[in-house]
Structure 1
Amino acid sequence: MSDTNDLNGTTPTVRPSTAAELVARSNRLGADPKNTNYAGGNTSAKGTVTDPVTGKPVELVWVKGSGGDLGTLTESGLAVLRLDRMRALVDVYPGVEREDEMVAAFDYCLHGRGGAAPSIDTAMHGLVDAAHVDHLHPDSGIAIATAADGEALTAKIFGDKVAWVPWRRPGFQLGLDIAAIKEANPQAVGCILGGHGITAWGDTSDEAEASSLWIIDTAAAYIAERSRPEPFGPTLEGYAALPQSERRAKAAALAPTIRGIASHDRPMVGHFTDSDVVLDFLAAAEHPRLAALGTSCPDHFLRTKVKPLVLDLPGMATVEESVARLEELAVAYREDYRAYYDRHATPDSPAIRGADPLIVLVPGVGMFSYGKDKQTARVAGEFYVNAINVMRGAEGLSTYAPIDEAEKFRIEYWALEEAKLQRMPKPKPLATRIALVTGAASGIGKAIATRLAAEGACVVVADLDLDRAQAAAAEIGTSDVAVGVRADVSDEDQVQAMVDAVVLAFGGLDLVVNNAGLSLSKSLLDTTVADWDLQHDVMAKGSFLVSRTAARVLIEQGLGGDIVYISSKNSVFAGPNNIAYSAVKADQAHQVRLLAAELGEHGIKVNGVNPDGVVRGSGIFASGWGANRAAVYGVEEDKLGEFYAQRTLLKREVLPEHCANAVFALCGPDMTHTTGLHIPVDAGVAAAFLR
């Protein structure tokens, strides 16, 4: 195979490079979840290029690098090694007890700069005598791989076209094993890796892809045709899924407790799933036994821990009963995980990484999954859905028999896995924090939401206008970073629905910014009761409702938190023609003091920001307030920001981003001991100095 273009007469024959062809195949395979899970599996291709140093042909192997995802793989995500040097490692291989040393040896086989870091599976791809190799984690293939009689099933389903490879931890020896099996079975197109997944190969990229898909589809068809009717057993009385609205309300009520359980050792972001796959599994009689056996594929249990925490109550149990039992089970789970660690840890094992569950299953309701960020939490849930599919297939044909506990520990606390974790970038200051910002579709609120997300927080953008809230969230980031919701903060039910949406989107709540507001610039005599009530309903009553509803979540989680009020310079400054607005801002300012005093015992800080003259991007100023204030001060409306700047001590215009800076300062890592504070963001208005 060559990466150089051939000439046929005068017309060049152009074909994709080996690397480009590999990326295209990888993307196709990774785009379909039936083929492999997110970031699961790896692919490779071998080809010949001209060595730029010698000018002679050199054979290379391109392999998906460590940590990459097939569905989104690009050429920069490939490790590139010289095949002769990689295969020469066989001669210095020190044996399975020291095979981890071979990963470092791959660095001496790199071609040029080598591209991405080689993964542990590089040996499999380099040593197997085939131009193209795919290693994948399909649910159907792992179902055969984890069946108690997987070897016999492999022969029965595939004949001699697919070989069986007994469980072995990924590494150099597994590469040698698969290479030997392929050599001994020239008619085979791939193999089932016991407890793990599949590997397939071909002389061309298309042949390798076809072999992979044939194994996956053949296994799936066999399971569909031969599986017994109820692989998970009959439905348990009382364990069927609750109606959607009821189960989601219960999920929102339980989410703070469960997040607190999952964040005992370190804060976590959560994800909620109530798919039919999960609900059907939890309704069946065998789910406690199967859940206790844990997952098998290394990619699965590295994301989900060896087993989940399962609430052993029916869906009809009350929230109070469920909370009490979950707290009991959490203690037992931590003790069990610590015992698992102690049973298998050796003096050189990495320290225990925390004993909290990453998957919590609630019959009738669904699954809560956790991780260091939303994507990790979501993917952990997807992996457990994969595990459920695997268990269904294995139980339908045979008996689910995952790899044993000792092997799981060897991988979970593998020195190479620990090294990978240590290479992860340092988390951002607000990583794992979940923020709710009201009135955040524009102006100060949008700037705050944007800054908090940039500092690592997950953000819910709440606004009266759903379309604008969702548009603002989309500007900030993907749905793993920001989501938009509609809420009228003056309506108690809508505030509860908003907070429920937050905890269902990200698992909990840590940081609340009361920013929603409006203003009507009128004198005392022109201010109607309706004007007064409208402003007090949105800002005084609304802030109260949001803070009260959020505080229940913060207290139940037991993780502390922050509540920030965007008040105003007007809370302490007496100006003309804004009695309703200034009075309600004073109300908000005193709520800060009152709540700081009340919530401090729960580790919840409550602070305020007092802006002034924030004209650019402001929804309030654009809605008529700006024109009225400009008329009061006798300036043109488009000059209002400059006018406000000139009356300040610093002569600087205040922008929404300056308010966002103050919110981050209050909630960031440097002001952990500050509560009850109001920060002026007004460029210096002496009459509004706090005293």
Structure 2
Amino acid sequence: MSLPDRFKHVSYLWDNTVAEKLGDDEVGLLIYRSNLLGADLRLTNYGGGNTSCKAMAKDPLTGQETEVMWVKGSGGDIGTLKRSGLAALYVARLRSLKNIYRGIEQEDEMVELFNHCIFDLASKAPSIDTPLHGFLPFKHIDHLHPDAAIAIAAAKDGKRITQEMFGGTIGWVDWQRPGFDLGLKLRQCLDENPGIRGIMLGSHGLFTWGDTAYESYINTLEVVETCAAYIEANLSKKGPVFGGQKMASLPADERRIQAAALAPVLRGYCSSHTRMVGHFTDDPRVLEFINSHDLQRLAPMGTSCPDHFLRTKISPLVLQVSDMWCLTSSKTSETPAEKDVRHHMSDTTCQTPNLAYLDGAFGSYRAIYTDYYNTCKHPDSPAIRDPNPVVILLPGVGMFTFAKDKQTARVAAEFYINAINVMRGAEAISEYTSLPRQEAFNIEYWLLEEAKLQRMPKPKSLSGRVALVTGSAGGIGKAIAKRFAEEGACVVLNDINEERLQGAVEEFKKSFGRDIVTSVLLNVTDETSANAAFQQAALDFGGVDIIVNNAGISISKSITEHTLEEWDRLYDILVKGQFIVSKAGVEIMRRQGFGGDIINIVSKNAVVAGPNNPGYGSAKAAQAHMTRLMAAELGPDRIRVNMVNPDAVIADSNIWAGGWAEGRAKAYGIMVAELPAYYAKRTLLNEIILPEDIANACFAFVGGLLNKSTGNALNVDGGVAMGFYR
């Protein structure tokens, strides 16, 4: 049997060709091994775990060979680890810290002393797990959080199961908060059990090692494979997972409808302290758990692994299906069949979220979290943080997670799925146990964790905001979306041209990463298409905060040459499109309950009467007045509505297609090639207007300085006196 075929529950990814090219570069092999381990989420979660190697290097001060440990530094992810993400420390100096260690009550003071052990001053700051690697003698060490191993570590009798499963070749260290003292405990376990191949950390994770990068890699895979196979064998004997299914899931399409309707409401509740971005998943593992008989028993217990609850909070908010929805149909009474419909949420046309129930559910969660803080806090504990839930479970539908940005929300969902896997495995082999609340609090409100939070970069001005810019695959729309993304917003790219849209999506993912962008085909003249676009925004980000009505066309003809079809097309896209998109967006904003921004990209032509322009100019005037009307109507909802009036934005713009340029050149008696210079010369500033100029104007409205401005127009035309507002 080939090596890859030996592993059923983990992936063997080692490529000798790649490894041989690295030769004796132990640090290069560490990075290679780490990236392979991080590529398999069954071995460790994003940002979880750490890896290390020890090798000889020349001391820059003495010129002598000295032993150095390279270990993943604070933060980061082993799946994407690079040399710059490693901390490098003198092994002898690190171990000599034992001589001044004053005991577990003072162990946090040891972290600052790591700085006296730094070998490479340009390397990453050492993490709290550094001594766990440093006090073990092995050249290559892996500390991972595999679901299968944590399931055993979190089982009621995990120590006994570990002993039986591995015949004494895997040691056991009871739960203890990571730190200097735990490093000493690992070494003690090794000294008391010479020849072991790894150590299980109670409720936490796994340590494995080897004399080479490859030996460590294989050892890790074999141990995790054994754990996973043991759990699988017991699952088949245990009976129904999580006590069996209590209810069935909605069909996939209906799950999405319900989730899209509910996500903005939940986002509003979760944003009572800080504006949050959402994530939704109906992963089969989630549905199996939330639809089960054991949900109400297991979910409140919380997670075990610190990596899990630091990102998910200690426990989720579980919504009760029977209380979640209000029937709003005209029927005067409920039949048993209708009650079943409500219970299983299959009637998507007659239900709205029960806000009274949600008020109570969130209020109760916040009170429980506050009590947890007050009961467990120490005299020097940091102030209580946001008491809202991160994870929200809705049986039959799926899981919602909310965090400061999309990546954090997505990762929280991944970590809770890890927690579900752990509960599933622990229940299969024994009984799941979570950390005591005090131990969990000591991790969550650890002063070292608080210091890490305080060192994080200040959020950008649009962090936590979601923007939908119509026609954002090119020209002005893409420039606006890019400006917003640069300022931290999540963006919903859309266009009617699928090929153009795909190109923009790839560009944004390359520049900003996959979490900042989603996309949807959108025809602004079609109400169904607009509703689907906002449904996508709700599913991917939890809702929307900024709408920019930018999509448009332009037709330049005299009134006698203008056809009725052209007139209707202009009004459909510019006027009706603005109405349709704004209407759909306002509904989302009202569900969220914290206001928002609508910006309409109008034109200097809304004010200036020029030749050969009756259709486009009058449609732009209608857009402008609709802006004022919406501002007057939506003020009580704290939805600001403003307009930007560009002129002659030629670069990468669709409006110059379809004969517009020829029409304007004809109107002015010049050649098409002369238009840019002509437009610049007629402005007071003698400037050519670019898409980026319009993007900057839009950011001015939403960036925070004009939060009390609505119903206003900002001209970005280089100065056209006839376009001045009087």
TM-score of the superposition, structure 2-length normalised? 0.92
Where do 1:437-452 residues align within 5 Å? 437-452=469-484
Shift of 1:603: 1.3
Q: CA deviation at 1:591?
A: 1.3
Which of 178, 182, 199 is 2:190 aligned to? 182
Question: Could you tell me whether the CA contact under 8 Å between 1:616 and 1:641 is conserved in 2?
Answer: no
Contact kept in structure 1, 2:491 and 2:517, CA below 8 Å:
yes
> 1:232 matched to which residue of 2?
242
Instruction: Find the partner of 1:431 among 459, 463, 467.
Output: 463
User: CA offset at residue 129 of structure 1?
Assistant: 1.8
The residue number in structure 2 matching 1:35 is 43
Pairing partner for 1:658 from 693, 701, 706: 693
User: Is the contact between residue 350 and residue 415 of structure 1 (CA under 8 Å) also seen in structure 2?
Assistant: yes
Residue matched to 1:417: 449
Matches of 1:145 and 1:620, distance apart in 2: 63
Tell me how far apart the structure 2 counterparts of residues 161 and 638 of structure 1 sit (CA, whole Å).
Answer: 80
Counterpart CA distance in 1 for 2:294 and 2:660 is: 63
Partner in structure 1 of residue 56 of structure 2: 48
Deviation at 1:624, TM superposition (A): 2.2
Corresponding residue for 1:316?
A: 344
Residue 573 of structure 2 aligns with which residue?
A: 538
1:221 aligns with 2:229: yes
Aligned to 2:31: 23
Letter in 1 for 2:601: I
AA in 2 matched with 1:230: P
Displacement after TM superposition at 1:326 (Å): 2.8
Structure 2 unaligned blocks of 5 or more: 1-19, 323-342
Q: How many residues align?
A: 678
Q: Give the share of equivalent positions with the same residue, in percent.
A: 51
**Partner residue, 1:548:** 583
* Aligned partners of 1:470 and 1:485 also within 8 Å: no
SS at match of 1:670: coil
1:84-109 residue CA offsets vs partner (Å, 9 max, x unmatched): 10000011111101111111110010
Question: Does residue 263 in structure 1 map to residue 271 in structure 2?
Answer: yes
Among 491, 501, 504, the alignment partner of 1:472 is: 504
CA distance in 2, matches of 1:243, 1:620: 42
- Could you say what secondary structure the match of 2:503 adopts? helix
- Deviation digits for residues 411-453 of structure 1 (CA, Å, limit 9, x no counterpart): 0000010010111111111111000000111111111011010
Q: 1:128-277 alignment to 2 at 5 Å?
A: 128-227=136-235, 228-236=238-246, 239-277=247-285
Aligned-residue offset at 1:467: 2.5
Cα drift, residue 266 of structure 1: 0.5
For 1:506 and 1:63, the matched residues in 2 are separated by: 35
| CA deviation map 1:245-277 (0-9, x unaligned) | 111011100011111111111011111111111
Q: Give the corresponding residue for 1:378.
A: 410
Instruction: Give yes or no for contact 2:268–2:594 (8 Å, CA) kept in 1.
Output: yes
Q: Assess if the C-alpha contact under 8 Å between 2:644 and 2:715 holds in 1.
A: yes
Q: Aligned runs of 1:465-544 on 2, under 5 Å?
A: 465-477=497-509, 478-544=513-579
- CA–CA separation in structure 1 for the residues paired with 2:301 and 2:366: 17
Asked if structure 2 preserves the Cα contact closer than 8 Å seen for 1:144 and 1:154, the reply is yes
Residues 114-125 of structure 1: matches in 2 within 5 Å? 115-125=123-133
Report if the CA contact (8 A) 1:311-1:325 is conserved: no
The question of whether the paired residues in 1 share the 8 Å contact of 2:602 and 2:624 is answered with yes
Q: In the TM superposition, what whole-angstrom CA distance separates every residue of 1:460-499 from its partner, at most 9, and x where no partner exists?
A: 1111112212321221233311222101111111110011
| 2:645 paired with 1:616 | no
Residue 343 of structure 1: SS of its match in structure 2?
A: helix
Cα distance, 1:82 vs. partner? 0.3
1:14 deviates by 7.8
Distance in 2 (alpha carbons) for counterparts of 1:642 and 1:64: 57
Residue 6 of structure 1 is matched in structure 2 by none
Q: Identify which range, 46-55 or 388-397, moves more after superposition.
A: 46-55
Q: Given residue 233 of structure 1, which amino acid in structure 2 is its aligned partner?
A: G
| 1:405 alignment counterpart | 437
Quick one: distance in 2 between partners of 1:28 and 1:641?
54
Q: Classify the secondary structure of the residue corresponding to 1:100.
A: helix
Quote how far apart the aligned CAs of 1:638 are: 2.7
Partner SS, residue 411 of structure 1: helix
CA 1:643–1:337: 2 relative to 1, 3 Å: same
Q: Give 3-state SS (helix, strand or coil) of 1:320's partner.
A: strand
Distance, in Å, in 1 between the alignment partners of 2:636 and 2:369 is 31
Q: Deviations over 1:560-611 (max 9, x none)?
A: 1100000000111101112111111111111111111111111111100000
Give the deviation of 1:323 after TM superposition: 4.7
Mapped partners of 2:157, 2:239: distance in 1: 19
Moved more, 652-661 or 638-647: 638-647
Q: Confirm or deny: 8 A CA contact 1:440 1:461 kept in the other structure.
A: yes
Q: Give distance in 1, aligned partners of 2:677 and 2:516.
A: 35
Partner of 2:293: 285
Cα drift, residue 52 of structure 1? 2.4
| 1:185-213 deviations in Å (ceiling 9; x for gaps) | 12211011101111111122222112211
> Contact 1:358 / 1:371 at 8 angstroms: preserved in 2?
yes
Checking the alignment, whether the CA contact within 8 Å between 2:279 and 2:540 is kept in structure 1 is yes
Report the Cα distance in structure 2 between the residues aligned to 1:191 and 1:204, rounded to whole angstroms.
Answer: 18
Q: Counterpart in 1 of 2:10?
A: none
Measure the CA separation in 1 of the matches of 2:21 and 2:704.
Answer: 60
Q: Which amino acid in structure 1 is aligned with residue 45 of structure 2? A: N
Contact 2:248–2:344 (Cα < 8 Å) also in 1: no
3-state SS of paired residue (1:120): coil
Q: CA deviation at 1:114?
A: 5.2
One-letter amino acid of the counterpart of residue 560, structure 2: L
Contact kept in structure 2, 1:565 and 1:608, CA below 8 Å: yes
Write the distance in 2 (CA, Å) between the matches of 1:22 and 1:133: 9
Residues 70-89 of structure 1: pairs in structure 2 closer than 5 A? 70-89=78-97
2:674 maps to 639
